[in-house]
Amino acid sequence: MYQDRIIIDGLQYCNWDRAYFETLKASGITAVHATVVYHETARETLTRFAEWNLRFEHNSDLIMPIMSMEDVTTAKATGRVGIFLGAQNCSPIDDEIGLISVMRQQGLLIMQLTYNNQSLLATGCYEQEDAGVTRFGKQAIAEMNRVGMIVDMSHSAERSTLEAIDISSRPICISHANPNFAHPALRNKSNEVIQSLANRGGLIGFSLYPFHLPNSSQCTLETFCQMVADSAELIGVDHLAIGSDLCLNQPQEVLEWMRNGRWSKAMDYGEGSSSNSGWPDALPWFCDSKGMENIYHGLIQQGFSETESSQVMGGNWFNFLQDGLTPVS
């Protein structure tokens, strides 16, 4: 049964208040990967950690910090939602490789090498030219492997993603994106990337962000689950997960910070259409406390066994993180 399973959402950036933590608890989610920064510097990232420490202090009956998978087990046993923190850009380490270890010790478990644009480490998916992983990027990947920080290539371009998969001595993730065969979006991934990821033991988390789904906000539960089933045919169930990219109750200025940071005076539309200038309409079957449970049952109706559905809904994330977060001795 759904309530007995470990359920992990591999990416959210919602309005983190007590009301939403109560919604998370009611949803049956065991743990959530929460974005702590998009474009913040190292110093600004420390303030974001302090803000999360305060949330943990004030809502300790509902949420708890995750530093290892043992904490996820504790969260499940105590009826709380575990929160593990990640960065959607490499900005938290500035230009200093030693800050990778520092941020890992603070609780940064996952870091994207880039967010849409060219970074010091790799090329983002909205750049016209993909130069691949940089010299700094190669060393950063090795250091992330060493300290047990997960490499995430969700917003990275094709060549950079393939190179990161190959360079990394440990499996990497694409925490929140979809296959290009389901919907052609700049951030969605080719079959070559998905197969390469799986061949090296990696994981892809399917996104519920409407702009990256077939039929956008009109995407049905059945269509979403068919996309998961088609991916299972391509690479097997063991490499599939959920990374919803859910951004509930966030104002427009948050969307502008995500897309623009401090690098652009004009609104960055990403996909190249001004119709994407605001938040998309929420999926009606994934906008309340029943969203993850709806997917769980939808996968079973699609032909997945209960065990396979449980893998996609959290079991694969659990196993992937248990291996990937362990520092190299």
**Calpha distance 23→45 (Å, rounded):** 26
For residue 42, what pLDDT is reported?
Answer: 98
Q: Is 5 a domain residue?
A: no
Closest CA to 67 of 8, 38, 110, 96: 110
Residue-number span of the structural domain to which 232 is assigned: 87-324
Q: For residue 276, what pLDDT is reported?
A: 64
* pLDDT score recorded for residue 287: 87
291-302 and 221-235 are packed helices; what angle lies between their axes, rounded to 10 degrees?
Answer: 60
Helix (H, G, I), strand (E, B) or coil at 133: coil
Distance CA 264, CA 266 (A): 5
Q: What is the pLDDT of residue 327?
A: 95
Coil vs helix vs strand at 168: coil
Q: Is residue 144 part of a domain?
A: yes
The reported pLDDT for the residue numbered 271 is: 56
- Tell me, yes or no, whether 40 lies in a domain: no
Whether residue 217 lies inside any domain: the answer is: yes
pTM: 0.96
pLDDT in tens, the chain (329 residues): 899 999 999 999 999 999 999 999 999 999 999 999 999 999 999 999 999 999 999 999 999 999 999 999 999 999 999 999 999 999 999 999 999 999 999 999 999 999 999 999 999 999 999 999 999 999 999 999 999 999 999 999 999 999 999 999 999 999 999 999 999 999 999 999 999 999 999 999 999 999 999 999 999 999 999 999 999 999 999 999 999 999 999 989 888 898 899 998 887 866 545 556 688 998 999 988 999 999 999 999 999 999 999 999 999 999 999 999 999 97
Instruction: Report whether 21 contacts 62 (CB < 8 A).
Output: yes
For the chain, how far is it from start to end, CA to CA, in angstroms? 38
Identify the pLDDT of residue 259: 87
Count of the separate structural domains present in the chain: 1
- Element spanning 34, H or E: strand 31-37
Other CB atoms within 10 Å distance of the CB of residue 327: 11
Cβ–Cβ under 8 Å, residues 314 and 243: no
Q: List all residues 6 or more positions away from 8 whose beta carbon is below 8 Å from its beta carbon.
A: 29, 30, 31, 32, 33, 72, 241, 242, 313, 314, 317, 318
Q: Is residue 2 part of a domain?
A: no
Q: Is residue 274 part of a domain?
A: yes
What is the structure's pLDDT at 278? 83
CATH number, position 143: 3.20.20.140
Residue 17 covered by a domain: no
- Has residue 214 been placed in a domain? yes
